[in-house]
A and B are shown apart, each in its own frame.
Chain A
Amino acid sequence: MDTSILAVLIQDGITTGAIYALLSLALVLVFSVTRVIFLPQGEFVAFGALTLAAIQNGQAPATALLLLALGAVTLAVEAGSALRLAQTRARLLHRLPLLVATHLAAPLAIYAVTRYIDLQALAMPLQILLALLIVVPMGPMIYRVAYQPLAHSSVLVLLIVSLGVHLAMVGLGLLMFGPEGTNTKPFTEMQFSLGDSPVSGQSVIVLITVAALIAVIYVFFERTLTGKALRATAVNRLGARLVGVGINQAGKLSFAMAAGIGALCGILIAPFTIVNYESGFIIALKGFVGAIFGGLASYPIAALGSVSVGLIESFSSFWASAYKELIVFTVIIPILLWRSLTSHHIDEEA
């Protein structure tokens, strides 16, 4: 192997690793706030990438229609549960305009935009924004409909809910986008050279985006009251409730963030890798492997682990491409060995 191949492999590894890092961040966030193992994370990756691809091809993305349907269901569930109790019934009338605006009017407006505007002519940042506007609201809506009624159930039940959501979303993905995979257009055609080795502008943009996003997330958790409320919920749900943090709000917010991160990862990865309706799952699972490095609790170690996963993947695809996935997922055994030798903590409550 000469140095130029080495440089390409490292560049590839770091770029995909950075995307895995974002995903692992979202998984850790959702798990610690809601105890949900978020299997559908990968579907947001696919939805983000495929929605953008449709927009770039000048087609109205079918996800806009899905958003409309999901909004209507969420509104019905919200109203239905409010009608059950006398106190909430009285307040429903006041809440209704906002609920209708966010769950019906806004999706309708987005849908109208996708139908009546020449999407291909939009500037790329606007196209990306539109894709995110379509996909991200699905996160909190799915939380409201599928998870919130079961928020107090066991991790196992929440996991099976995740499975149901995952299956439905993969099926819907096939229905909306068909079995074919696509790429999206690269953000830039620029090429740099660093010493002897070429560096694609695309990779640089991905890295900058990921770094910026991680910085934003860091500031959000460290400096804002909402971020602190989420952290409090992760540490102690009951305690957070007692000091007035709404568990449901925290859940919705964490799902919105996870959906946003997922969709953005799809958009970042789609120029390199062909994405189809079901490829998000494996991508997100590699984020899982990264998250295990951090023991599902530490964000920086999870991020570092994900970058290593990206590097391992890129090198093993060069040396033993048939065994690429095998190697990536087997790496976990030495990690666990290391974890079990270094941690002596026995948890009090399982």
Chain B
Amino acid sequence: MKALTSHRAALPALFFAIVLALPQLGLPPFWVTLLSYVGLYAIVALGLVLLTGVAGLISFGQAAFVGIGAYTTAYLTTQFGLSPWIGLLAGIALTACSAFLIGSLTMRISGHYLPLSTIAWGLSLYYLFGNLEMLGKHDGINGIPAIAIGSVEFGNGASMYLLIWAVLILALVSVVNFLDSRAGRAVRALRFGTVMPEAMGVDTARLKIVIFVYAAVLAGISGWLYAHLQQAVNPTPFGLKYGIDYLLMVVVGGAGHVWGAILGAGLLAVLSNFLQEWLPGVLGTGGNFEAIVFGIALVIFLQFANEGLWPRLQARFGRRLPRQLPADAAPLAQMPKPARGEVILEVEAARKQFGGLVAVNDVSFSVKAGEIVGLIGPNGAGKSTTFNLVTGVLSITSGKLNYRGQSLAGLSSRDISSRGIARTFQHVRLVPGMSVLENAAMGAFRRGQFAPQGGILASLLRANRKEEAHILGEARRQLERVGLGDLTDHPAGSLALGQQRILEIARALCCDPALLLLDEPAAGLRLKEKQALAALLDKLRGEGMAVLLVEHDMDFVMQLTDHIVVMEFGTKIAEGTPAQIQVHPAVLEAYLGGAQ
């Protein structure tokens, strides 16, 4: 285990050791400066990898956050003679606050507000920097002092280079740590919609704000370094154009990959530098040729590698090492389970109206522990709506919805999941690039030792290893329970549909449920897969689990369930054992039509 972790870290450590030693090895000052800028860009791009590449939230405003960091320290150190370290703290506070404000405004409403509002944000901040008297208008601020620790001053290019790359390493490690945590896995799921993470207990809006703030803080730190490297600031490098450039670095490097940030930043800085130097010599100085060549090259590049460069390099040279888990992780604490036969879900006269349409019309039924209940009915009968009432996706219009004596009415799906009701989805919702193990671990989101929604700082600092061991250990136990124990390291997207549905059940089991809600679990499965699924559900029933399933496959339902509820046009028309339902006149009429 120890050897393996150090092996995982060996290549990056070697890379950084070489980079940090470069000035000592006689790298010319020109290159030291250029690589300093690569480091500054990469710190910003790292935040964008998290925000845009991993979570799918596009921000044009990162350059503006860099500007806040740079101007804050510039103003405080030159006007009040304060230490650059105070400038750093103030800059971080200011970027975090403004990011929090913008995030709170945009993250709770749907998709495309963030990119557009960050365009406007980036522009207005640029004009603000350029027009404020106290910030020196378009001339900016000069004479910013150097950073110092005690008597060590980061005055020259080589020392700033070291500082910048040291910060970059810390930032990289923090982002890698974060992605490999409970909250990080939830972030990786965001790109595929919020319904699944919410059902696993994740407050997705809050999580989006958290990563937006973190990306902004990284940008602010980069701005602080920039101001003290240049010892001067002016509005230009914080305009929208640079905001777009940061996105460009991330896309060219490989949007979802932390190393793509460094690759993209390096490529762009070096390339634009040389394009600016060489092209006028080749093509003349009559026009802005580097922009033309650059723009066209970018379009061509994307046609051939729209995933960016890093995944290509990785596919050629890299290989994923299997994940090692400590074998002795103690199990997670479990909620007390109901006794077999106890009624745990009571639906009483539940009603859902959409305007004048009554989708669920005073339906009542109950589910006992250790029992599988099937909810069937022709298309449009209101099964899915009933299901969505119990899972909290829709709110109930009237009636009672009690789980183990407590009302579920008005609770969000994440509160419902934390009470011990777990669900699967009709259309499988897994994160295809994440391993089977990590997908299953999503289910245990609310069961970490850190406060249900917290643990962000702990994960950045890698202080969450014990929690991780518990959660991943639980995920592996549940995967073994459902029979996927051999596939833990495979990407979830490579599994067959039947296995994916079983994986969804394993994920649901990680929530520590007493009641499982399955939405058409057999849809699209082959016979063998259906048999395996039925055997698994039978086994869970034997262990005392209550299961409510919506299903169309009659063979499957009749052979498996203890109790069936039949709905038609929003109303319950029959209820009973499979044998009773098969001969029930109302059911026969609903399915086969009446014999008039």
Contact = CB atoms under 8 A, between A and B. Distances in A.
A163 B292 contact: no
Contacts of A165: 295, 299
Interface string B183-194: 000000011111
Interface in A149-172: 149-150, 153-157, 159-161, 163-172
B14 interface: no
A350 B292 contact: no
B176 to A, nearest CB: 21
A37 interface: yes
B308 to A, nearest CB: 9
A119 interface: no
Contacts of B58: 155-156, 159
Contact of B116 (A145, A146, A171, A288): A288
A347 B296 contact: no
Q: Tell me if A's interface is mostly helix, strand, loop or mixed.
A: helix
Interface string B239-259: 000001001100110010000
A216 B306 CA distance: 37
Nearest to A166: B295
A156 B291 contact: no
Interface stretch (A194-202, A258-266, A289-297): A289-297
Greatest chain A CB density within 10 A among B56, B104, B195, B298 is at B298
Contacts of A349: 192-193
Contacts of B483: none
Contact of A150 (B108, B113, B194, B306): B306
Nearest to B55: A350
A323 B131 CA distance: 7
A168 B111 contact: no
Interface string B105-142: 11011111101110111011001100100000000000
Contact of A347 (B110, B119, B290, B302): B110
B295 A285 contact: no
Interface stretch (A95-103, A227-235, A246-254, A333-341): A333-341
B52 interface: yes
A332 interface: yes
Contacts of B120: 285, 288-289, 292, 329-330, 332
Contacts of B299: 145-146, 161, 164-165, 168
Contacts of B291: 167-168, 170-171, 174
A12 to B, nearest CB: 20
Contacts of A323: 127, 131
Contacts of A37: 115
Contacts of A154: 56
A239 B52 CA distance: 28
Nearest to A146: B299
B288 interface: yes
Contacts of B109: 336, 339-340, 343, 345
7 contacts: A161-B298, A164-B295, A168-B292, A170-B291, A175-B288, A332-B117, A347-B111
Given A175-B286, A323-B127, 12 more contacts: A146-B299, A150-B306, A164-B299, A170-B288, A325-B127, A326-B131, A329-B121, A333-B117, A340-B104, A345-B110, A347-B193, A350-B111
Closest 4 CB pairs of A and B: A168-B295, A175-B287, A167-B295, A164-B298
